[in-house]
Amino acid sequence: MARQPAAAWAASVEAKPDVSHATPSPLAAHRSKTLSGSVRVPGDKSISHRALMFGALSTGRTRITGLLEGEDILNTAKALQALGCPIEKSNGTWQVLGRGVGGLQQPGGPIDYGNAGTGVRLIMGIIAGHDMSVRLTGDASLSRRPMGRILKPLIRMGLDVEEGDKDPLPLTISGTTDLVPIEYTLPVASAQIKSAVLLAGLHAAGETSVIEPEATRDHTERMLAYFGAQISATKRQGLRAITIKGDAELAGRDVAVPGDPSSAAFIAAAALIVPGSEVLIENVLINPTRTGFYVTLREMGADIAFLNERNEGGEPVADVRIRHARLKGVRVPAARAPSMIDEYPVLACIAAYAKGETHMEGLAELKVKESDRLAATVAGLVANGVKAKAENDALIVEGGAGVTGGGTVATHLDHRIAMAFLTLGLGADRPVTVDDAGMIATSFPEFSSVMGSLGAPLAKPENVS
């Protein structure tokens, strides 16, 4: 496919500091007074990554509003620029001048993805369909995360990995213009594996299919269809099969990114924890593959309403109202994990305030996130006087006895661990401190200011100079 001229296009993304190597920034949360107000959270991270990538693979301009401007997304923008795709921000709108499927170029050096696990895994599927060799690197946290399960199907399609069986980053991968279409059954419920294979399938001759034993986030299917890909979902022996036709042509689109439900979860949790609170979170994504958190909260007795439901750019959106309520412990089935995998740390913090035991099952995936979130969550709860334990792939929290607080939580460079435990501190007897809040900028740069606007100021611990 012919590449489009890039003349007159700026191709710079504002550089941000690398929070993973910065001096630690401890932060503390104190017991809060009633929270109230209306807020918006940053754009959805999953959709933001995809909007930039699919725009780069399209012909013509893609205009994106509401893009999450966190570190992970900016790293995707910089990666695409390094691959020859012009991107600029003007008057609050991000514009991508697409290069077409197969139209990206050999970068001049390694591509550093920082802490962006979704970004680096999806870009592997894109690189697979290009005749180029790319060195991919990341920070210390990303370099510990598994890549082999993404690479396995891509290697079957024709991708070459210079390091052979080496799994984590850094890696050098080489793509080809002669990818082979495959049918692939996911070994685990992973939207990242599915998306990488489908993106590679755009470049392959013929049809590529991914079989899902359990439903995962469907943002890739929705957005690829919106950009013009020939993609379909059917049932095969009771399992969901997603098929994409290769040699594809995508056309640039306008994309309005809705609020990230995983970021909204911390605001919802704060309202549930602090007595008398009522908060409205505007413009939140309520895609059914992402609402397991709200389903669980309602089972626990939460007062949650979806208001002004609407459809924007192929995705369902609503304003979410949350009122404080007395909660009870519940059993969260393993089948629900794919629809709320990022919300378990903050759900565990909510469970500390619920009466009785909350038993969360099927959490193996938590062990391979930015940190071992299962172990980090248990350690943070115990450090603050909450009875919690992990049994195999389950997390069990005994709530209702009050949260004493007073502990310092090791975040392990994980933004969701940091935000979850700052939320826990809003109802604790004594302050809850996280050892480093700097990495929160990867997904929710405005977290502290949004909490403050609702009446829950966060501050540097008193014993830190």
Residues of the chain under the 70 pLDDT cut: 1-22, 463-465
Does 3 map to a domain?
no
244 and 274 together in one domain:
no
Q: Which residues are registered as beta bridge partners of 409?
A: 434
Q: Which helix (H) or strand (E) holds 39?
A: strand 36-40
**d(Cα 127, Cα 200) in Å, to the nearest integer?**
8
347 and 228 together in one domain:
no
72 and 99 together in one domain:
yes
How many domains, in total, are found in the chain?
Answer: 2
201 and 334 together in one domain:
no
Does 314 map to a domain?
yes
Catalytic (active site) residue 342: yes
141 and 125 together in one domain:
yes
For a pLDDT cut of 90, what percent of the chain falls above it? 84
Question: Cβ–Cβ contacts within 10 Å for residue 14, how many?
Answer: 9
Domain boundary among 255, 277, 312: 255
235 and 290 together in one domain:
no
Question: What CATH number should be reported for the domain holding residue 432?
Answer: 3.65.10.10
**d(Cα 318, Cα 311) in Å, to the nearest integer?**
9
337 and 202 together in one domain:
no
Give the total residue count for the chain.
465
pTM of the model: 0.85
268 and 376 together in one domain:
yes
Q: Which helix (H) or strand (E) holds 220?
A: helix 219-226
Does 204 map to a domain?
yes
Identify the pLDDT of residue 442.
85
Residue span of the structural domain in which 70 resides:
45-255
Identify the pLDDT of residue 8.
38
Identify the pLDDT of residue 22.
63
308 and 218 together in one domain:
no
Instruction: Provide the sign of the torsion angle of the four alpha carbons 40, 74, 261, 56, taken in this order.
Output: positive
Closest CA to 80 of 199, 162, 218: 199
Does 12 map to a domain?
no
202 and 186 together in one domain:
yes
Give tens-digit pLDDT for 59-93: 999 999 999 998 899 999 999 999 999 999 999 99
Catalytic residue among 342, 414, 435, 436: 342
Does 343 map to a domain?
yes
Domain boundary among 208, 238, 255: 255
SS3 197: helix
274 and 249 together in one domain:
no
Does 322 map to a domain?
yes
Does 2 map to a domain?
no
**Omega of the bond prior to 86 within 30 degrees of 0, cis?**
no
Identify the pLDDT of residue 202.
97
156 and 246 together in one domain:
yes
**Pairing verdict, β 432-434 and 408-409:** parallel
Residue 16 tokens read as 């941000």
Does 15 map to a domain?
no
Decide: 367 and 374 in contact? Cβ < 8 Å: yes
Domain boundary among 210, 234, 255: 255
